[in-house]
Structure formats: structure tokens, C-alpha cells
């Protein structure tokens, strides 16, 4: 088959189109920057090889006096994470809720744990570790994130997971976070809740660490939730990111920052950063524990109403507690601008399939008549 040469086009006739496209591109770039802080097309975001790279770290000026500031960090997440208005129903008069989407910091490696791991794993590599150990519940988001990040950096990962006495001697299955961990080849040791309560996470991690040392390995222990003084820098740095986003937006100031509180590292970093920085918002940690049927229904209702899917243990409980307090004490929240930090954890929902089956949306078989004529479309599936 012969290919016809492209017809020549007068340059002068294309100039208006080129000018228009350039203007559109400029507007799109400005809009993309907005509350997100950095345009996706910026050199920093687009630079090949920047993801998973180790880089020197300089603390924010307002945190430079803090002791034991980290010197390096790994680029593990996709930052800055976007902020947008969250159109929640039944808010107190004049109250606005915005949401910072730390659930969008990655896919396999997502949520608030990424920010902590950027500093913790930099320290692990600096110490010459060849594997990491951490501890959590059977559906721990932190353990899954650690397993992913460790594999990215060619480190083996050992997970001590807490489960019930009835299940501790059984195959834990492939649901939710467990599926990702086991696909990655993470080494999983199960302990019962009773054993965990008696021995504690520190002693359990030390026990495994000593065993690995005897085998000639070089393990690095990451505490539950990545929550220690080094991990806290993840959300001190997040406050700097938030400062920059607010400065770029020009017209949004928050009165409160609300986040689900578990092991405490996230709220510690947010509270300290808010105190030291130019932010005037108060950081509040809410909700964490086993979920109730009412809270699971809340997760479903919020997803249906706003399109935001919350996890059942952290952000779901945090948002539930926030809205309940707003309903019970509307005057306390009246007229305030609230930033809710979504800390991720979507995979944890897969462990709640049985409990949520009655809440899920309906389905039906499509009603088709045999006389419907076929119409060809474009593409392989047509």
C-alpha cells in the first residue's frame, strides 16, 4: 500500500491555532497547580529517575532547630497530594470541609505510611540493612506499605502479624493487604492477640531480629505504624507541603486539621508542624478501633454521596467521629474551615466483604429483546 505524503500547510494559517493551544496549555498548567501545589508537568514531577531516589533532606526553617533531624530521604510517594472541597451532607451552618488526599500518594504504596517510610527506609539503607522487620494487625496498611517499599529498595521484609487465637495456626489467606504482601514475597509470622498482648511488639520484633542476626542478616526494625521520632518527620514535612499549597491557593485558610489517630505518628507530626509553622489550624486526632455496623454503613453512605471511599478502620472512623461531633455540637464547628486528611487504607475494605454485602448497591440482569439489531463499533471489544 502506498502512503500519500502529507499535504503542505501554510505556516501562517496555523499560527492562530498554535497561539490558542499555547494559551490553553498555560491555563491548564495554572489550574493543575492550584491547590495541588506543583504542576504535574513541572520538571521536579516529570524528571526521569527521581522516583525511588535517595536525596538530601533539609528541614523546614521553622523545624531546623529540632534534634535528630534526618539528613536524607527516599522519594517513595507521589507528592504533593491534592486538596479539594468535600461536599459532605448535613454540615453545621457555614462549615466547610476540605479533604487532603493522602490516599492518592500511590497505588501499591499509598496512604499516610508512605511519608514515614521515606525517612525510615533511608535510615535503614544508610545503616546497611538487608531486610526490615515490622509489626501490625492482620490487615495492617503499614505492613503492606512497608513490604512494597522494601521490595522497591531490594530489601527483604519480615512481618509479624497479629490475628485471633482461632486463626493463628491457619493459612491467613489472600484478602486485602495480605494478597499484596504475599505476592511480594514478604515473610509472615503470625501471633495471637493474646501472645501480642503478653509479649508486646518491641519484644516480638527483637526476638525475630536476633534470629536473623544469628543467620548473618542485617535487619532494621520499624516500629508499629512507623511511629517513632524519625517517622514523625513524614508529617512535619507534610505540614510544609500544606503551607505551600495554602500559599498557592491564596484564599483558603483552615481552622482545624482532622485525621484518624492510630499509632500516633501522623497526628504527632501534624500537631508539631502546625505549632511551629505559619499554620493557625489545630490538629485533631479522632477515631481508631474495630468498626461497628453503623460505621460500615457510614462508609457506604459517604461513598454514595461524595465518591470518596474511606477505609473501615482509620479514615472511616475518623470521619464518622468528626461528623457525629458536628451533629452533636454544631455551634463548636459553625463557620469553621476543616481539613480532613484521608490516610488511605482502601485494601482493608476487602476484608469486610461479608459485613458490607447487604449495604452494597443493587444489580440486575439487563433486559434484552431478541429483536435488538447489532451495531458495530470501533475497537476490539465491538
**DSSP structural state of residue 136:** E
For 90-122, the pLDDT digits (tens) are 999 999 999 999 999 998 988 999 999 999 999
The closest of 276, 275, 261, 228 to 116, measured between CA atoms, is 228
CA atoms of 220 and 168, how far apart (whole Å)? 25
Q: Are the beta carbons of 102 and 111 closer than 8 angstroms?
A: yes
Strands 72-74 vs 83-85: parallel, antiparallel or unpaired = unpaired
Question: What domains appear along the chain, each with residue ranges and CATH number?
Answer: 54-109+229-352 (3.40.50.1100), 113-226 (3.40.50.1100)
Q: State the DSSP code for 83.
A: E
pLDDT at 22: 44
In the set 122, 140, 227, 315, the catalytic residue is 140
The pLDDT assigned to 233 comes to: 97
CB 245 within 8 A of CB 35: yes
CB 106 within 8 A of CB 152: no
Closest CA to 143 of 181, 173, 112: 181
Q: Considering the entire predicted model, what is its pTM? A: 0.86
Question: SS3 breakdown of the chain: % helix, strand, coil, rounded to 5?
Answer: 45, 15, 40
Give me the residues of the chain with pLDDT under 70, please: 1-46, 287-289, 381-382
Say whether 140 is catalytic: yes
Identify the pLDDT of residue 62: 97
DSSP H helices, 307-352, are: 315-328, 330-333
Mean pLDDT of the chain: 88
> Can you point out the beta strands (E) in 147-226?
156-163, 187-192, 219-221
Amino acid at each position: 500500500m502506498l502512503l500519500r505524503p502529507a499535504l503542505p500547510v501554510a505556516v501562517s494559517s496555523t499560527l492562530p491555532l498554535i497561539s490558542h493551544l499555547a494559551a490553553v496549555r498555560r491555563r491548564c498548567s495554572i489550574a493543575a497547580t492550584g491547590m495541588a501545589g506543583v504542576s504535574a508537568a513541572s520538571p521536579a514531577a516529570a524528571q526521569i529517575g527521581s522516583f525511588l531516589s535517595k536525596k538530601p533532606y533539609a528541614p523546614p526553617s521553622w523545624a531546623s532547630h529540632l534534634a535528630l533531624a534526618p539528613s536524607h530521604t527516599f522519594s517513595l510517594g507521589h507528592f504533593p497530594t491534592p486538596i479539594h472541597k468535600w461536599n459532605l451532607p448535613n454540615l453545621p451552618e457555614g462549615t466547610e470541609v476540605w479533604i487532603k488526599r493522602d490516599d492518592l500518594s500511590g497505588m501499591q504504596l499509598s496512604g499516610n505510611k508512605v511519608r514515614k517510610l521515606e525517612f525510615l527506609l533511608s535510615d535503614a539503607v544508610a545503616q546497611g540493612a538487608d531486610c526490615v522487620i515490622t509489626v501490625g494487625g492482620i490487615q495492617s496498611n503499614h505492613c503492606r506499605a512497608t513490604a512494597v517499599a522494601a521490595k522497591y529498595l531490594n530489601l527483604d521484609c519480615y512481618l509479624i502479624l497479629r490475628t485471633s487465637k482461632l486463626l493463628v495456626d491457619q493459612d491467613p489467606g489472600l484478602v486485602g493487604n495480605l494478597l499484596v504482601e504475599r505476592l511480594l514475597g514478604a515473610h509472615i509470622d503470625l501471633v495471637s492477640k493474646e501472645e501480642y498482648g503478653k509479649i508486646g511488639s518491641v519484644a516480638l520484633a527483637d526476638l525475630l531480629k536476633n534470629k536473623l542476626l544469628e543467620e548473618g542478616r542485617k535487619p532494621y526494625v520499624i516500629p508499629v505504624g512507623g511511629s517513632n521520632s524519625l517517622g514523625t518527620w513524614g508529617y512535619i514535612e507534610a505540614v510544609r507541603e500544606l503551607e505551600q499549597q495554602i500559599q498557592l491557593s491564596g484564599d483558603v485558610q483552615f481552622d482545624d486539621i482532622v485525621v484518624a489517630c492510630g499509632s500516633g505518628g501522623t497526628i504527632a507530626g501534624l500537631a508539631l508542624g502546625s505549632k511551629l509553622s505559619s499554620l493557625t489550624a489545630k490538629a485533631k486526632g479522632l477515631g481508631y478501633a474495630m468498626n461497628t455496623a453503623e460505621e460500615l454503613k457510614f462508609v457506604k453512605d459517604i461513598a454514595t454521596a461524595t465518591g470518596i471511599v474511606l477505609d473501615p478502620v482509620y479514615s472511616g472512623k475518623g470521619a464518622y467521629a468528626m461528623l457525629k461531633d458536628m451533629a452533636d455540637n454544631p455551634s463548636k464547628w459553625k463557620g469553621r474551615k476543616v481539613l480532613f486528611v484521608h490516610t488511605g487504607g482502601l485494601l482493608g475494605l476487602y476484608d469486610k466483604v461479608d459485613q458490607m454485602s447487604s449495604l452494597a448497591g443493587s444489580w440486575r440482569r439487563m433486559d434484552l429483546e431478541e429483536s435488538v439489531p447489532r451495531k458495530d463499533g470501533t475497537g476490539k471489544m465491538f
